[in-house]
Structure 1
């Protein structure tokens, strides 16, 4: 028997069930990017808001769009858009049935309909979790007009990218003289609201509609937000645990998440759900310090754990963070380098770093290194290069950044050498593959070419040739000594 509205009454007493009638929800939110993170984060907070608000909460149902694959939309639709959130502490798991999604759709099958949903009078907020690579930005944070996806979208009558869909939806709002929805980016992008606003304006201008671009800049709110929760890929163990905790009901789309939850949102005008009902949500005047701390300390450290850990045979974040050598290097990197430019007290930074390492080591969260390591070229600028530049300009050490970048490059080197499981999941995979083929057996040339990619690294780093030499040296050591031995030596240095 499958989880559905008809079977909610069969659930055991220990399962949290929605304290509202899902059939009464109206679609006030459109979400782009119906992945696991969205379903463990924005949906959880929206469900808590609906429960807290009573009948007024019924205006905040979510239409959630899967951007790339139709299977999840089909699976959730078959379950009346219900699914289980498994909140996993190290010693316990809590099951909660999520019911805030009113409809799940596949974006590419929607065509003009998805833009029309954004423009509908009932839609007051559009949220997004399409990953940093889903915005097709340059290293400077502007829309990349040379990206194949953007070039295709600019010519298409039915855009497929999130930026293109937003531009078309806002075009429809403007045409009918309506009130535009608030566009709330929930991805790990520097100044994500302002960056997304500029990207959508750039898209409109590139299509030859400068008036639409100007209207968007003057009339549409794009608040910044910071999101923080570790949400891994669903595993067979999740499916079995969901079935056990649901008293035997099958759930084909459960999601696991850690107990930690943060959502920091810039204040904006207009109606919204009472998201503060979910512990960890705050509305503030300036998201910047929270965003920078999270991007650099959590996401930057995650990248080092993923690349160096994967190369060393440590397949999950928990394994990598628990490794004596790599775990120690990550702690040092996080505290000594990744705090650059973060306007928080030393005590608060220490506490955050300690909390992060505890979260990373949670053995019940199976966060695969391979998955975290995807799309590194789109993540590098805000998470690694910004603090690296500041540290170099201040004369501080950047050894952890060298190790991270060298590990990222070596991942592609091993792919070029035919090592199994070294997949090139990156928006610039073709370019990276070509560099590896050209520089095969020459670490210096490889480091020079990788760091010369201005669409990833931006302008040359301070004392650029010294940075190239340091990274080339690590690449050479990886080849001759092996990654585990290099990590051990660096940890003991």
Structure 2
């Protein structure tokens, strides 16, 4: 027997359920990127908002579009778009049924009619979680016109990328003299609202629609946001755990998440769900400081734990941070280096550091190194190089950033030699592998060639030769010595 609206009444009382009838929901939100994070984050906050608003909340159902995996839309439709959220507490698992999705579609299906759905006057908000690479940005945070997916969209009647879908939908709204929805980017992109606005304007301009681009810039609201919740990739344990907690009901699309939840949203005008009904949601005048703290302290440290931990044979973030030497290095990196230009009081930074380390250690969250380490070239500039540059300019040491970059280069060197035991996914993987192949035994040449890629690292770092020397030295150590031994030396333990 499968989880659906008909069987919802059979769910045990210990499981949290919607405080409304999901069948009565009307779509008011369109979401692009129906992955695990969206279903553990925006969908749960929207469910709380609907429950808090009563009858008025029923206008905030979500039409959620999966961008890459049509099978997920099929699985969710078979369950009336209900699914189980498994909150992995350190001492056990709590199950909740999420019923905020009114419909799930595949963006690649012409019948999904995403642009028409967004242009529908009933749609007041569009949210996105398509990952940083899903916006096809250059290092200057502008739309990359050379990206194959963007080139395809510019020539297509039915766009497939987020910038293309939004630009096409907004063109319809402008033509019909409608009111555009508020567009909320919920991805880890610096100044994500402003950046997405520019990318959509760039897409319109590339199509020759300069007037549309100007209208988007002056009329459409793109508030900045910051999102924070660790949501690992689904495992084989998730359906089994869901079945047990649901009293035997089958769920084809359960997800796991940590207990922590945060959603910081900048100001905008117009109707919206009462998202602040979900603990951890805040509306603030300036998202920037929260965004910077999260991108650098959480996401940046995640990258260090993933790249260096994997080299040491530590396959998950929990295993990496629980390693005595690497855990010490990571905590020091987070507090001493990654707080650069984060304008928060020292006590708050200390507390946030402690909270993050506790979250990383949660054994219930299986956050695999290869997944955290995906698309490093798209993340390096804002999460690592920006604070690294500030620290160097201020005369502060950067041992953690140096180790991270050396470890990342080592991933590509091992992959080029077919000696990397974990998967490697990066939009510039072929180029970076070729660098390692061309300078296989020359660690300084590898370091120089990587840092010379300004589309990843930006302009040369201050005291550039010294940074190259430090990275090359660690790269050699990671190549010639057991990685745990290198970490013990670096941790000063």
Tell me the equivalent position of 1:392: 392
* Partner-residue secondary structure (3-state), 2:7: helix
Tell me the equivalent position of 1:404: 404
Deviation at 1:477, TM superposition (A): 0.8
Tell me the equivalent position of 1:440: 440
Contact 1:411–1:422 at 8 Å: present in 2 too? no
Within 5 Å, give how 1:79-98 maps onto structure 2: 79-98=79-98
Tell me the equivalent position of 2:50: 50
* Partner-residue secondary structure (3-state), 2:425: coil
Tell me the equivalent position of 1:301: 301
* Partner-residue secondary structure (3-state), 2:105: strand
Tell me the equivalent position of 2:243: 243
Contact 1:305–1:330 at 8 Å: present in 2 too? yes
Tell me the equivalent position of 2:150: 150
Tell me the equivalent position of 2:172: 172
Q: Deviations over 1:352-406 (max 9, x none)?
A: 0000000000001111111000011111111111101111111111111111111
**Counterpart-to-counterpart distance in 2, 1:407 and 1:420:** 12
Deviation at 1:112, TM superposition (A): 7.5
* Partner-residue secondary structure (3-state), 2:96: strand
Tell me the equivalent position of 1:3: 3
Tell me the equivalent position of 1:71: 71
Tell me the equivalent position of 2:491: 491
**Counterpart-to-counterpart distance in 2, 1:206 and 1:70:** 29
Deviation at 1:140, TM superposition (A): 2.1
Give the direction of change, closer, same or farther, for the CA distance of 1:268–1:198 in structure 2 (3 Å limit): same
Within 5 Å, give how 1:242-321 maps onto structure 2: 242-321=242-321
The gaps in structure 1 that reach 5 residues or longer are none
Contact 2:226–2:291 at 8 Å: present in 1 too? yes
Contact 1:243–1:251 at 8 Å: present in 2 too? yes
Deviation at 1:148, TM superposition (A): 2.0
**Counterpart-to-counterpart distance in 2, 1:356 and 1:215:** 41
Tell me the equivalent position of 2:210: 210
**Counterpart-to-counterpart distance in 2, 1:404 and 1:110:** 43
Deviation at 1:420, TM superposition (A): 4.4
**Counterpart-to-counterpart distance in 1, 2:2 and 2:350:** 46
Tell me the equivalent position of 1:369: 369
Q: Does structure 1 residue 359 correspond to structure 2 residue 359?
A: yes
Deviation at 1:427, TM superposition (A): 1.3
Contact 1:149–1:161 at 8 Å: present in 2 too? yes
**Counterpart-to-counterpart distance in 2, 1:251 and 1:178:** 40
Tell me the equivalent position of 2:191: 191
Contact 1:193–1:222 at 8 Å: present in 2 too? yes
Deviation at 1:424, TM superposition (A): 2.8
Contact 2:105–2:112 at 8 Å: present in 1 too? no
* Partner-residue secondary structure (3-state), 1:45: helix
Comparing 107-116 with 469-478, greater Cα deviation is found at 107-116
Contact 2:136–2:144 at 8 Å: present in 1 too? yes
Q: Deviations over 1:62-89 (max 9, x none)?
A: 0001001211111111111000001111
Normalising by structure 2, report the TM-score: 0.98
- Note the aligned Cα RMSD (angstroms): 1.1
* Partner-residue secondary structure (3-state), 2:139: coil
* Partner-residue secondary structure (3-state), 1:441: coil
**Counterpart-to-counterpart distance in 2, 1:423 and 1:236:** 19
Q: Deviations over 1:247-296 (max 9, x none)?
A: 00011111111111100000110000000010000001101111110000
Q: Deviations over 1:183-208 (max 9, x none)?
A: 00000111100011011111111111
Deviation at 1:442, TM superposition (A): 1.4
Contact 2:106–2:112 at 8 Å: present in 1 too? no
Tell me the equivalent position of 1:123: 123
Tell me the equivalent position of 1:325: 325
Normalising by structure 1, report the TM-score: 0.98
Contact 1:242–1:254 at 8 Å: present in 2 too? yes
Poorly superposed stretches of 4+, deviation over 6 Å: none
Contact 2:416–2:434 at 8 Å: present in 1 too? no
Count, aligned residues:
493
Deviation at 1:421, TM superposition (A): 3.0
The gaps in structure 2 that reach 5 residues or longer are none
Contact 2:225–2:291 at 8 Å: present in 1 too? yes
Within 5 Å, give how 1:99-118 maps onto structure 2: 99-110=99-110, 113-118=113-118
**Counterpart-to-counterpart distance in 1, 2:422 and 2:142:** 30
Contact 1:63–1:102 at 8 Å: present in 2 too? yes
**Counterpart-to-counterpart distance in 2, 1:460 and 1:83:** 48
Tell me the equivalent position of 2:428: 428
